Amino acid sequence: MADVCENGSRSDRRAVLDPDEAVSWLLSLARRHLRMDLSWLSRLTPELQIIEALHGDAGSFGLAAGSTTCYADSYCARVLDGRLPPVIPNARADERTAALPLTDEFGIGAYVGAPVVLDDGRVYGMLCCLSHHAEPNLSHRDGRFLALLAEVLARFVSHLIHEREDRDLLIQRISTAIHDHPIMIFQPVVAVPTRQVIGAEALARFPPGTGGPEAWFTTAASVGLRTDLELAAIATALDAIPVLPHHLWLAVNASPTVVACGRVCDTVAEVPAGRVVIEVTEHESIQDYLAMRAALDALRRRGARIAVDDVGVANADLSRLLQLAPDILKMDRELTRKIDTDPARRALAAALVRFANEVDAEVLAEGVETAAELAVLADIGVDQAQGYYLGHPGPLPLPERCTL
C-alpha cells in the first residue's frame, strides 16, 4: 500500500504492505477510530477463541497474543449466532451481557465485533474492540465501520493463510523426498590422457514433472530443509560405493552450509579412504572460512578429497581457491565451451592448470561436448574431464573406458 504525499504523488517507501504489518495497522486503526482500549484479531475453533494479534492496553484485560477463551462462552460466539448484536455500548447494563462471566473477568464496559470471513467463505475469527468503560456514543454506524475493516483484514489474513498452507505443502513434499531418498544418477569422469573412467559424479534427480534439482534444493532452502535434503542425497549416493569397482571414486555435491555443519563427516565415516570426493558447490557464499576449513580438514582426515565446483568464471574464485585449498579444481563448463576456437578461454584454462600443478591439485573440466574441446584440454594438461561427449548421466554400472 503506497503512502500518499502532500502533493498527491505516491511514495515508493511502502509500495507493498507486508500482511503482518497490515494486520497491526488495521487493529490500530480500529481501536483509535472507535476510541476503545483494545482491539484484537482472534481465530475461532469449535472449542476455543485464540487471540492472535492485539493493539492497545492488553495487559489491563489480562490478555496477550496466544491467550485463549472458551468459544461457547465468548461474546463472539453469540454475535455469530445472533444472540448478541455486534455493537454493545454498555455491557454491564445490557441484560444480555451483564451476567456473562467474561464481562466481569475482563472488565468489559463496551464491545464491538465483526466476523473475519476468508476468501473461500470460511469464518476465520473476529475483529473486536473492547473498552473498560461504557461507550454510549457507539452506534450501528461503528459496527458497519468495523465490519468494513474486517473485510479488508480478511484479505490479508487470507494471504497469510494461503502462504502458510503453501509452505506446509512444500514441507510435506520435501519431507517425503527426504524420506524416500532422491533418485541418483551417475556421470562418468575420465582421465584425459587415457580416456579410462576413473570416477563418477552423483547427481540427484526427482520425479518427472516436479522440477529440476536446482529448483528442489532452492525450495527446500526456503522451508529450512535444504541441509536434510542434501544429506539424504549424499547418503543415497554413497550407498552405491560397494557397487562401483574398487578403483573408482565417487563425487557428491555439498553446499558450504552442509559441509560446515559437520554432518557430512559422519556420513562418510564408513566409506573407504580415497573413494569419495566432496564437491563444494557455489550456490551460496561462504560466511565463515575458518569453520569451513575446519570441516574440510575433518573430512580429509576421514579419507575424503575436496573439489571446488565451477572454477574459472566467478569473481570470488581466487579467494575461494586460496581459502579452501581443494584437491580438485572443477573447471566451469563456460570455460570449456568452445575452448578449441577461443584463445582467451584456452589461455585462462592453461593458467588454471599451471596453478593446480603448483599447489598439487588436479583440474577436472566440466561440460566437454566435442572431440575438439577434449583435444585442447589434453594439449594444455587437464587431468580429468566429464561431459556429454564422454558419457551422459545415468544408472550404474559405469563403463570401464570412454568409447569415442
Locate cell 511514495: which residue? 11
Check residue 317 and give its pLDDT.
Answer: 61
Report strand pairing: 249-254 vs 276-280.
Answer: parallel
State if pTM tops 0.85. Answer: no
Write the CA distances from 152 to 136, 272, 372, integer angstroms.
26, 62, 64
Distance of CA 36 to the CA centre of its chain: 40
Band of the pLDDT at 273, cuts 50, 70, 90? confident
Instruction: Tell me if the domain spanning 181-385 has CATH number 3.20.20.450.
Output: yes
Nearest to 138 by CA among 83, 85, 77: 85
Whether 1 shows a pLDDT value over 60: the answer reads: no
Strand partners, 219: none
Please report, rounded to a whole number, the percentage of residues in the chain having pLDDT higher than 90. 77
What one-character DSSP code corresponds to residue 400?
Answer: S
Domains 3-167 and 181-385 share a fold: no
Whether 359 shows a pLDDT value over 80: the answer reads: yes
Q: Which amino acid type is present at position 206?
A: F
> What order of strands is seen across the sheet that includes strand 123-131?
68-70, 48-56, 38-44, 123-131, 110-117, 87-88
* C-alpha cell read off for 368: 566437454
Locate cell 454498555: which residue? 90
Whether 263 shows a pLDDT value over 60: the answer reads: yes
Q: How far apart are CA 256 and CA 314, in angstroms?
A: 16
| Average pLDDT along the chain | 90
Q: How far apart are CA 2 and CA 5, in angstroms?
A: 9
Report which secondary-structure segment, H or E, holds 334. helix 333-336
Q: Are 233 and 174 in contact (CB under 8 A)?
A: no
Q: How far apart are CA 57 and CA 43, in angstroms?
A: 20
Check residue 253 and give its pLDDT.
Answer: 96
Return the C-alpha torsion angle 68, 74, 77, 82, nearest 10: -160
Band of the pLDDT at 6, cuts 50, 70, 90? very low
Residue pLDDT, tens place only, 297-350 = 999 999 999 999 888 765 456 777 888 999 999 999 999 999 999 999 999 999
* C-alpha cell read off for 1: 500500500
What one-character DSSP code corresponds to residue 106?
Answer: H
Whether 382 shows a pLDDT value over 70: the answer reads: yes
Flag the least confident range among 142-156, 273-287, 308-322, 337-351: 308-322
Whether 256 shows a pLDDT value over 70: the answer reads: yes
For the chain, what are the domain ranges? 3-167, 181-385
Fold topology of 3-167: Beta-Lactamase (3.30.450)
- 3-state SS assignment for residue 52: strand
Check residue 197 and give its pLDDT.
Answer: 95
